[in-house]
Structure 1
Amino acid sequence: MTDIQRIDQNQRRSRGIVHNGLVFLAGQTANDLSGDIRQQAREAFAKVDDMLAQAGSDKTRVLSVTIWLGDMADYDGFNEVWDGWIVKGESPTRACAKVAMHDPRVRVELIVTAAQ
């Protein structure tokens, strides 16, 4: 049986799970919800980077990213930050959709799967 590593777990959820060489991250959002899409995306990616490091991985090992935007008008601004975050030649698969967020100030949420 393979061990399951749970990262930042509480009663309701784990922010990350490592199992069988894969890393699954819960939705990562900015803490400061007053910023524009670029600021929120940079902060969410920083949290992804931190969680991946805790799991023994990094952004070059990302396999897939699901991107939830509160408003598709933020798509181009998000992509500016995305293009600066991904490593050339290491781009993951991705999907992007407009979602009604739990808090309307949340502009982006990232759900990531990576290899360890």
Structure 2
Amino acid sequence: MIERQHTTERMSKIVIHNSTIYLCGQVGAGDTVTEQTKDCLSRIDALLAEAGSDRGHILQAIIWLSDMRNFAEMNAVWDGWVPEGHAPARACGEAKLARDVLKVEIIITAALKPAE
């Protein structure tokens, strides 16, 4: 079974299949890479919680930056957000994002938290 949440004609924000959660690309508000990254990660936290998971269960992250010169600034936020010992498989590259004001977009795949 495939479960889709927050679905429009274009995409779903959350898709769950076989205990794996797929989030659509998340962007954040703000003028700086730091602000956008913090907001983006906050949105990811909220979607993961809604789907039944958390940042400790992230399997993979794909990060797009509008400019690789912002790599260290984004990593400063990312490194403080990922729980110690739970770093996911990750890729980061440069891409032209959907709007010129966007500096970072993050795509997450995570596992559902086991039932307690």
The bucket for the TM-score relative to the shorter chain is over 0.9
Superposition map of 1:66-81 within 5 A: 66-81=62-77
Correspondence for 2:89: 93
Correspondence for 2:48: 52
Query: How does the TM-score come out when normalised to structure 1?
Result: 0.94
The runs of 4+ residues in structure 1 deviating greater than 2 Å are none
* RMSD (Å) for aligned C-alpha atoms: 0.8
List gaps (5 residues or longer) in structure 1.
none
Superposition map of 1:1-116 within 5 A: 3-30=1-28, 32=29, 34-116=30-112
Residue-by-residue CA offset, 1:60-103 (whole Å, 9 max, x unaligned): 00000000000111100000000111000011010000001111
Query: How does the TM-score come out when normalised to structure 2?
Result: 0.94
Question: Between Structure 1 and Structure 2, how many residues are aligned?
Answer: 112
Q: Percent identity?
A: 36
Residue 11 of structure 1: how far off its partner (Å)? 1.2
Residue-by-residue CA offset, 1:19-49 (whole Å, 9 max, x unaligned): 100000010001x2x4200000000000110
- Partner SS, residue 76 of structure 1: helix
List gaps (5 residues or longer) in structure 2.
none
